[in-house]
Each structure stands twice: as C-alpha cells, then as structure tokens.
Amino acid sequence: MRAVAFAARSLVRQPARALLGVLGVTAVGALLFDMLLLSQGLIVSMGDLLERTGYDVRVTTTAELPRTAPPLERAAETVASIAQLPEVRAAIGIRFVDVTIDRPASEPMRGVRLQADQAITGTLQGVVGTAHPWSLLRGEDIAGSRGTRPTATNSSPGLTGAIVPPEKTGDSGSGTRDSIGSSAAASVVVNQHLADALGVEPGGTITVNASCESDLDVLPPVTLHVIGVASFPFELSTEKTVAGDMSTLDAACGGNGRDQAHIVVVTAATDAGVAAAAIQRLRPELHAATNAQMLGRIEQGGFTYFRQISTVLTTVTVAFALLLICVLLTVSVNQRLGEIAALRALGFSRRRVVADVLSESVLIVGTGGLLSLPAGFVLASWLDDILKRMPNIPADLHFFVFEPGALTVHVTLLVVTAIVAAIYPMSIVARLPIAATLRNEVTS
Amino acid sequence: MRMNSVIVDASHVTRSFTMPAGTVTAVRDVSLQIQSGEYVAVRGPSGCGKSTLLHMLGAVDTPSSGTLMFDGRDIAALSDRDRSLLRLRQIGFVFQRFFLLPMLTAAENVELPLSEAGVGKRDRLERTKELLDYVGLAARADHRPSQLSGGEMQRVAIARSLANRPRLLLADEPTGELDEATGAQISALLDRVNADGTALVIVTHDSTLAARARRVLMMRDGRVESEHQQ
C-alpha cells in the first residue's frame, strides 16, 4: 500500500478530525484565495475598465487623476490640435460640472415624486465633439438626435463622434464633427440611476441647476430633453449622470462657455506610447498618460492599501492554516506512536513513515484547497458587493478579480503550507525511538 | 534454509539508558547465540531487561557496548535504512498489543510488509491468502481488527510477521493480553511456526508457553542468570 493510499485510510479512520482539517483548510484557503484576488483585483479591474473605454491615452493638466486635476483651457483648440497629430487617430475632451437635477413641475414622475427639498445631485458631462464616452442602453444617442454621422474610421463606442480630422477619414465635410456651439444643446442622455431616481425615460425632460465655478453659483435652471439612457464606464455606483455635448454644458452654465475640459481622451493611430510622446511634445505643459501609466498613477494613489491589507491577511491566513494542520497532524501522530513504532519494527523505513505523515498533510490541504476555490469565489462575490457600496467607487470596478496568476500563487502557498505544516509531526516520526516507544506502549 | 547456523551472535552486550535520575542499565554483559530453527524463551521478573534484549536481537535497538551480529553483520554498524531492511526481510515481530492497523482489514494488515518489501500485487495477494489460511483466518480476511477477537488479532499479527518469510521471529508476551484458552491456541500456532523452520525467541511470563521452548533463559537484573535446555 503506497503512502498516499495509506494516509487516506488513516484519515478515514478518524473522520471527524479529517473533516475538521479539511473544513479548516477550506475556510482558510477561501480567505487566502480572496486575498490573492484582492491584491491585484482593483488594478486588473481598473486596467480592464480603461481598456474597455476604447481610449489609449488620457491628457490632463497635472499628474493627478482625472476629475481631480484642474481643467485645461482652450479645450476645443487643444483637442483639435491633438487630433491632427499623425500618431493620433481621434480625440475628445470632457468637462464635468456638479448639478442638481429635477423634473419640471409640470411633468409628474412615474413612481415616487421628489419633494422640493430633495433635489438630486449629480454630474453633467459636456463633450468636445459629439463624442460618446458612454454606451447607449436605450433611446437615441446625441449624435443621432442631431443628425450627426458617426465617424466612419472606427466602430469603437468610444470613438463615435470623436474629433477626427477630415484627412484621416477622407471626408470633406467637417461641420458635423466638431459640435462646439451646436444648436441641439438641449438633448442629453442620462444614466440608469438617474432615470430610476427621477422616473424619466427617453422623450422626457429634466431640469438641471449647474455649479460651474463654485458651489455658490446661482444659475437659472435649464431644461434638457432626455433622448437616451446610457452607461458610463467610470460612473460611481450611485452616481447620477447627465451627458451631452459641450454646448449643452455651456447652456447649463449660463451661456458663458469656458471652453475647458478636465480630460482629453485619445485613441492612438498605432502605439499608445508613441501617441502619448507625440502629445507631450506638442503640449509639454500637459500630462499625457497611457493606460499603463494611468494605472501606475492609480496604484500610487491609494490602491496599494488593498495590496498591503491583502499581504497582511494572506500572511495571517497562511499562518493559521499552518497551525491548524500542524496541530491536527501532531495530535494524530502522537496518538499513533505505538503503531508507528510497530511498523518501524516490522521493517518500515523512516522515509516511509515520514512520507505517510506528509501524505496526510497533502491530502487534507489538497482536499480543503480544492474546496476553497468555489468557496472563495462565492465569498469574493459577497465581499465585492459589500466593498462596492463604499463611496466614490465606479460601478464597473471590482475589488476581487480572478487571474490565473492568483490561482498559481494559491496552489503554491497551499503546497508550501502542506509541507511546512508537516515538518514538526514528520520530525516526531523520524526521531521516534522504536524500542522505547514499544516499551512505553506496553507499560502505559 | 540453513539449519543449525547462527542467526544472532551477541557478545558481552550491555544496554544502558541515560535517565534524569542517572544511568540505568537494562541489559548487562549478555552473550548468547540464536541458531536457525531454534525455539528460545526468555523469562524473568518485570524490568529485568527481557524486552530490551529482545529489541536488540530484533535490530530495533543497538547495544551500548558489546557486539551483536545478525547473520554475520554487526547491527550497530548498519545504517537505519539497512537495519529497516534487515527487519523487513529477516525478522518478524509479534507484540503483546498486536498493533494491527485498525483502518485496514486483516488481509491488508498481513499485506503491509509485503508491500513495503516491493512484492508485486499478485504475489502479495497469493501470499496473504496463504498466510491467513495458515493461521486459520481465511474466512476473516475482510474483517477489520475491531471485528476480531483478541486471539484472532494475534493470529493476524503472527501472519503479518511471517509475511516476508523471516528467519527469526521475535514475540514479546504474545499471550499477555489473552485468556488461557486463547493463549494456548496462540502457543500452538507458534509451535507450528517454529516447526516449519523459523527460529523463535519469546519473551514471556507465561510458564506454559515457556515450557514449549527447547531452551529457556532466565534473566534477573539485566543478566542471564540461568539457561537450560528442555
């Protein structure tokens, strides 16, 4: 009977203890797995989010994260000049302002009606170009409502309507793409949260009060036509978003267009790094970052906390697993010293009895480790839901993201745990004095 | 089988243990030889060193001084691995408390030393069946130790000890845990094992069992006080 089969029989012999060990490793393994998913999860998820938008380079005034950096001035000119670069396929600028949103009193909402003092706060996005940094869920899109043709050069949602110079599209018409000063300023799309909160659907109207310069702005409300409902890649889980072209935002800001953008997003013609370098040469005072560089900034900006927490909890869980298995095996071995001594007397080698103990450890950790994977996925999903309720977390961002590398580390840590946890009980067996143990067994 | 050849040759063997209260000498200056096919009983009061001597004869312990040769090889000079191999292939052990593995069936317990010795599965199964037949437990092959009586467990233990056809079988109080009638059955089985050519050294308090041996060593205070042939 080989060591593994022998160990399996030894475990079955004491099912309660074996079950306790397996359940313990399952719980600890699930936590360990989740910590590994957490250690890289935010970065992976953010990277995925950045890639999904279809943009390769983000241009801001400082190295701060978008929406926290001061806006860049002369946005239309900047966006146009960046779009002219041969390394760039297309570019759009986006400005964000805080707004309070309501329905006109003349339009009763479906569902609940907001009280007068319950105005909804949200964000109004104005876009240089009829750009779509969003995905339409239903209704019509801004460009469609204005009769603007989608850009023929790229089918990416992020590029539709972006500023694309005519020489890059082969199109002689230009008026439809740069929408600054467009006459269809009142058409907007809203996100699902806002649609739900106001009970508004495409075809309805909303009124917004914008705070364009400071929270103390007192601007007249502007009525906007909702033509579609869209999802926004970086919107927060509870964020209410209204989006339109820049002229819509200007109108909400009282008509005094500031020609600003908080960020310019760019699609590279070929390589993102080359495009970023070209933008940097063109406008040295701005900060052009590829998605990878943006991720680096984000990592430095606070995501490392999760990695540190993950590292600490990983260490604690592995230590707990080590102790659990070590105690279980040590107790098991100590209860079987007589049998082990008898096996040695019958000619079993030291290596063989040590292998039996190691096999028991591997079986417990292996079974528990296997069960820990589905348990870990369930736990990660639950924890992800809880963590995503934190403020200022984009709805599409996840804290726990599976990567093959995490599985590799998980398996490696469990294998190391199985071996290290077995060292002490293996040493008991290896150093067991056969004669003295047999004598003690008879006299005890 | 080599009859009348020396299997074990112990010369001035002493075994001492260092204890917190001082050194305890369990076996003092013992010299003896065990011949092939011999049947030796070792008797004496508790603590006189019988089991310690048996352990040294069985290569699970080594003398503090003196030499103990097994088949011409100095046991103290062997590595742990070589001593394990020697025990596996040349020596059988029967314990007072049987030490059968409770999670294995009778057949699997008997099969263990064969498996450890690298015997092929087919040969293992054949030899296991043969041994269980030999000890009269073929019908209980699939029973676990908890389903066997004390006498049956000891018979399985004897079958296990004979698995690799040892030249020397050592038994430490083999009837110590059994009633008189069952002890007599085990004694008869050991007689048969010896009659079939396996040298037997038995440590026992049981005078009936000792009376079956052809040579009896009486020990006291770690020494062989007397020796007589029967």
Q: Given A2, A12, A345, which is nearest B60 (Cβ)?
A: A345
A22 and A128 assigned to the same domain: no
Q: Per-residue pLDDT for B22 more than 60? A: yes
A296 belongs to a structural domain: no
A94 belongs to a structural domain: yes
Put simply, the answer to whether A439 touches B116 (Cβ < 8 Å) is no
Put simply, the answer to whether B161 touches A346 (Cβ < 8 Å) is yes
A267 and A329 assigned to the same domain: no
Q: DSSP H helical segments within A85-203, as ranges?
A: 142-146, 166-169, 192-198
B1 belongs to a structural domain: no
A290 belongs to a structural domain: no
Put simply, the answer to whether A13 touches B97 (Cβ < 8 Å) is no
Q: What is the CATH number of the domain that holds B10?
A: 3.40.50.300
Integer Cα distance of B152 and A102 in angstroms: 90
A23 belongs to a structural domain: yes
A329 and A190 assigned to the same domain: no
Query: A434 CA to chain B: closest CA distance, Å?
Result: 6
Query: B82 CA to chain A: closest CA distance, Å?
Result: 9
Q: Give the ipTM.
A: 0.92
Q: What is the pTM of this model?
A: 0.73
Q: What is the pLDDT of residues A341-377, one digit of tens each?
A: 999 999 999 999 999 999 999 999 999 999 999 999 9
Boundary (domain end) residue, out of A242, A259, A285: A285
Residue of A nearest to B82 (CA): A349
A389 and A367 assigned to the same domain: yes
Pairing of strands A222-231, A187-191: parallel
The boundaries of the domain holding residue B152 are: 6-229
Put simply, the answer to whether A1 touches B95 (Cβ < 8 Å) is no
A365 and A263 assigned to the same domain: no
Q: What is the pLDDT of residues A80-92, one digit of tens each?
A: 899 889 999 888 8
Which residue's entry shows tokens 């393994």? A29
A293 belongs to a structural domain: no
A294 belongs to a structural domain: no
A140 and A219 assigned to the same domain: yes
Average pLDDT in the A27-32 region? Answer: 92
Boundary (domain end) residue, out of A252, A285, A318: A285
Integer Cα distance of A220 and A214 in angstroms: 15
Q: Report which of residues A255 and B200 the model is more confident about.
A: B200
A70 and A8 assigned to the same domain: no
Domains in chain B: how many in total?
Answer: 1
A24 and A90 assigned to the same domain: no
A121 and A179 assigned to the same domain: yes
Domains in chain A: how many in total?
Answer: 2
Q: Per-residue pLDDT for B148 more than 80? A: yes
Q: Given B52, B60, B104, which is nearest A9 (Cβ)?
A: B104
The top-scoring range by mean pLDDT among A74-88, A210-224, A226-240, B188-202 is B188-202
**A25 with A321: CB under 8 angstroms?**
yes
pLDDT at A43: 82
Q: Given A2, A345, A442, which is nearest B93 (Cβ)?
A: A345
Put simply, the answer to whether B113 touches A346 (Cβ < 8 Å) is yes
A309 and A278 assigned to the same domain: no
Residue of A nearest to B146 (CA): A13
Q: Does A347 touch chain B (CB under 8 A)?
A: yes
Query: What is the Cα Rg of chain A in Å?
Result: 31
Put simply, the answer to whether B88 touches A1 (Cβ < 8 Å) is no
A56 belongs to a structural domain: no
Query: B67 CA to chain A: closest CA distance, Å?
Result: 18
pLDDT at A52: 78
Q: Per-residue pLDDT for A392 more than 80? A: no
What are the structure tokens assigned to A214, written together? 């400071």
Q: Which of residues 180-209 of B touch A (CB under 8 A)?
A: none
pLDDT at A352: 94
A31 and A92 assigned to the same domain: no
Boundary (domain end) residue, out of A285, A315, A344: A285
A24 belongs to a structural domain: yes
The boundaries of the domain holding residue A12 are: 3-50+303-443
**A340 with A353: CB under 8 angstroms?**
yes
Which residue's entry shows tokens 């075994």? B15
Q: Per-residue pLDDT for A269 more than 80? A: yes
Q: Given A10, A346, A435, which is nearest B103 (Cβ)?
A: A10
Q: What is the pLDDT of residues A230-242, one digit of tens each?
A: 988 777 777 889 9
Q: DSSP H helical segments within A299-349, as ranges?
A: 304-335, 337-345
Put simply, the answer to whether A338 touches B52 (Cβ < 8 Å) is no
Look at the alpha carbons of B64, B70, B73, B77 in this order and tell me if their dihedral is positive or negative.
Answer: negative
A220 and A113 assigned to the same domain: yes
Specify the range with the lowest mean pLDDT, choosing from A8-17, A184-193, B123-132. A184-193
Q: Given A339, A347, A439, which is nearest B101 (Cβ)?
A: A339
